Amino acid sequence: MQQFVFGGGHIVLPDRVAEDISIVIGDGRIEAILPHPPSPALPRVDLEGRWLVPGFVDLHVHGGGGADFMDGDVEAVLTACHAHLRHGTTTIFPTTTTGSPHRITAMLDACRKAIEQQQQNVLLGARMEGIHLYGPYFAPDKVGCHSTEGCRPPEAKEYLAYLASGMVKIATCAAELPGATEFYRQAAQAGCLVTCGHSNASWSEMELAYRAGLRHVDHFWCAMSSVASLRQRFGTPMQASMAEFVLATAEMSTEVIADGCHLAPELLRFAYQLIGPQRLCLVTDCNRALDQPPGQYRFGHFEDGTLLYSDGQVGWTSDRKSLASSVRGLDWMVRHMVSVVGIPLHDAVRMASLTPAQRSGIDHHVGSISIGKRADLVVLNKELQVEQVFLGGQLVFDSLQDRDYA
């Protein structure tokens, strides 16, 4: 691939925003970061005062563009990957819901086939680095908008088959379920980021899970235990919850849905201040209604997933009383953290790129603007909206021309 250079803008690094530096791209990777303009013979992309950021990494995402990963076919998988690419996500972990083993196996197979197609064609949307096995191992009282019929404790015969596929890179289970500890051990041995979600676990249950390999908690404050909910389980004395365990344990990470609907600005600021950008990820937890008109949709498989309603701002359960995942991309989450919550841009970008890359073990080749890493890059305008997306140094989306290159 021809060499070229980015210059003339704001380069967002993990710890700061750099001015007056140039980024040299060659053979699909970042070859050099120079404090001065390179040879004038190299083709130049003039950022004209815009922002160059690493491509975003989404650990927790169910769909977009009208498709859900649980639809279980290649076209749906690629549709969702393409939808999120337009929002700056260049690496994605398709995420399961609760559902039958047949539905989950079909989703894994469809993602595997879609990855094979992406390996032949860089234009087929955000790259998949693996699957997030999220459902079906949820606590019945914390199932949220997921189907309760597909919710169950982990059984080795089932989950070992998923792990043996080599597709699962993030694995979630509620820590209080029977069999959870062994699930965590097996997932950790398989090299997964091991997480607890949709859970009413106590501190002591989290400690056991941590010893078995747990290192992450899904969407902080959403569908998770609290001191009040644990009092309903255990009575008095009141017990510490998942939130306190994460705050007190330096090796634990977590994530927030910063869409402006799930969590108020003060909660997002609290998480940023107490947990920090090195342990806090931004995720979308997005459903198929991303970039779709308001209306009714299925969460999960298009035939038997639970009904949700999108008002164009967020998803709701069919009775419109509880939230049902987001309808926003990671670009929205970054803008919200900067413009509403008031955190520095480089920290917001880090939480959407390097931190999730580190937690999922892929930071050696994605997640930051660093020499040797893949040139998965996003150009943001002065309002932090996505203008261009590059995968491996190749332009794959250009909003200025309203053009996809697929």
CATH number, domain of 182, equals: 3.20.20.140
- In this structure, are 304 and 389 located in the same domain? no
Domain residues for the domain of 376 are 4-52+372-404
- In this structure, are 192 and 75 located in the same domain? yes
Domain count, the chain: 2
- In this structure, are 14 and 118 located in the same domain? no
Q: What CATH number is attached to the domain comprising 46?
A: 2.30.40.10
Please indicate, yes or no, if residue 365 is contained in any of the structural domains: no
Please indicate, yes or no, if residue 224 is contained in any of the structural domains: yes
Please indicate, yes or no, if residue 364 is contained in any of the structural domains: no
Between β-strands 10-13 and 131-133, what pairing exists: parallel, antiparallel or unpaired?
unpaired
- In this structure, are 256 and 176 located in the same domain? yes
CB 88 within 8 A of CB 81: no
- In this structure, are 33 and 177 located in the same domain? no
- In this structure, are 8 and 142 located in the same domain? no
- In this structure, are 30 and 61 located in the same domain? no
**Under 8 Å CB-to-CB from 182, ≥6 apart: which residues?**
154, 156, 212
- In this structure, are 193 and 213 located in the same domain? yes
CB 148 within 8 A of CB 132: no
Token pair, residue 248, equals 């007190």
What is the C-alpha separation between 201 and 177, in angstroms, rounded? Answer: 9
Query: What is the signed CA dihedral for 313, 319, 321, 323, rounded to 10 degrees?
Result: -40
- In this structure, are 273 and 388 located in the same domain? no
- In this structure, are 101 and 115 located in the same domain? yes
Q: Is 396 helix (H, G, I), strand (E, B) or coil?
A: strand
- In this structure, are 12 and 102 located in the same domain? no
Please indicate, yes or no, if residue 142 is contained in any of the structural domains: yes
Q: What is the pLDDT along the chain (406 residues), one digit of tens a residue?
A: 689 999 999 999 999 999 989 999 999 999 999 988 777 888 999 999 999 999 999 999 999 999 999 999 999 999 999 999 999 999 999 999 999 999 999 999 999 999 999 999 989 999 999 999 999 999 999 998 898 888 999 999 999 999 999 999 999 999 999 999 999 999 999 999 999 999 999 999 999 999 999 999 999 999 999 999 999 999 999 999 999 999 999 999 999 999 999 999 999 999 999 999 999 999 999 999 999 999 999 999 999 999 999 999 999 998 888 999 999 999 999 999 999 999 999 999 999 999 999 999 999 999 999 999 999 999 999 999 999 999 999 999 999 886 777 6
Please indicate, yes or no, if residue 300 is contained in any of the structural domains: yes
Please indicate, yes or no, if residue 147 is contained in any of the structural domains: yes
- In this structure, are 249 and 395 located in the same domain? no
Q: Is 357 helix (H, G, I), strand (E, B) or coil?
A: helix
Q: What is the CA radius of gyration of the chain?
A: 20
